[in-house]
Amino acid sequence: MDPAGSCPHAANARLLAQGAVAPVVLPGGVRGMAVLGHDALKEFLAHPDVAKDARHFAALQAGEIADGWPLRTFATVQGMTTADGADHRRLRSLMGKAFTARRVAELRPYVEELASRLLDGLEAAAADDGTVDLRARFALPLPMGVICELLGVDEAHHDRLHHLSNQLVATDIGPAEVMAANRETAETLSAVVAAKAAHPGDDLTSAMIAAREEDGDRFSPQELIGTLMLTIVAGHETTLNLITNAVRALCAHRDQLDLVLSGAASWADVVEETLRWDSPVSYFPFRYPTRDLTLGGTVIPRGTPVLAGYSAAGRDTRTHGPDAAHFDLTRAGTSRHLSLGHGAHYCLGAPLARLEATTALEQLFTRFPALDLAVPEPELPRHASFVGNSVRRLPVRLRG
Write the DSSP symbol of residue 391.
B
Q: How far apart are CA 337 and CA 295, in angstroms?
A: 19
Task: Report whether 80 contacts 346 (CB < 8 A).
Answer: no
- pLDDT for residue 335: 63
- The rounded radius of gyration (Å) of the Cα atoms in the chain is 21
Burial class (CB in 10 A: 0-12, 13-18, 19+), 247: buried
- pLDDT for residue 93: 81
Q: How far apart are CA 230 and CA 245, in angstroms?
A: 22
pLDDT in tens, the chain (400 residues): 887 778 899 999 999 999 999 999 999 999 999 999 999 999 999 999 999 999 999 999 999 998 889 899 899 988 888 999 998 888 888 777 778 788 888 899 999 999 999 999 998 998 788 899 999 999 999 999 999 888 888 888 888 888 888 787 777 778 888 888 888 888 888 898 899 889 998 888 888 888 765 555 566 778 888 888 888 888 888 999 999 999 999 999 999 999 999 999 999 999 999 999 999 999 999 999 999 999 999 999 999 999 999 999 999 999 999 999 999 999 876 668 999 999 999 998 999 999 999 999 999 999 999 999 999 999 999 988 899 999 999 999 998 7
Burial 263-280 (b: 16+ CB within 10 A, else e): eebebbbbbbbbbbbbbb
- pLDDT for residue 336: 86
Burial class (CB in 10 A: 0-12, 13-18, 19+), 190: middle
Task: Report whether 188 contacts 205 (CB < 8 A).
Answer: no
Q: How far apart are CA 196 and CA 271, in angstroms?
A: 35
Q: What is the DSSP string of 367-385?
A: H-TT-EESS-GGGSPBPS-
- pLDDT for residue 140: 94
**CB neighbourhood size of 135 (10 A):** 23
Task: Report whether 330 contacts 259 (CB < 8 A).
Answer: yes
Spatial CA neighbour of 353 closest among 243, 208, 205: 243
Instruction: Tell me the residue ranges of DSSP E strands in the chain.
Output: 21-26, 30-35, 50-51, 131-133, 283-289, 293-295, 298-300, 306-309, 372-373, 395-397
Q: How far apart are CA 315 and CA 37, in angstroms?
A: 9
Distance from chain centroid for Cα 299 = 28
Q: What is the DSSP string of 195-259?
A: HHHHS--SSHHHHHHHHHHHSTTS--HHHHHHHHHHHHHHHHHHHHHHHHHHHHHHHH-HHHHHH
For the whole model, what pTM was predicted? 0.94
- pLDDT for residue 257: 98
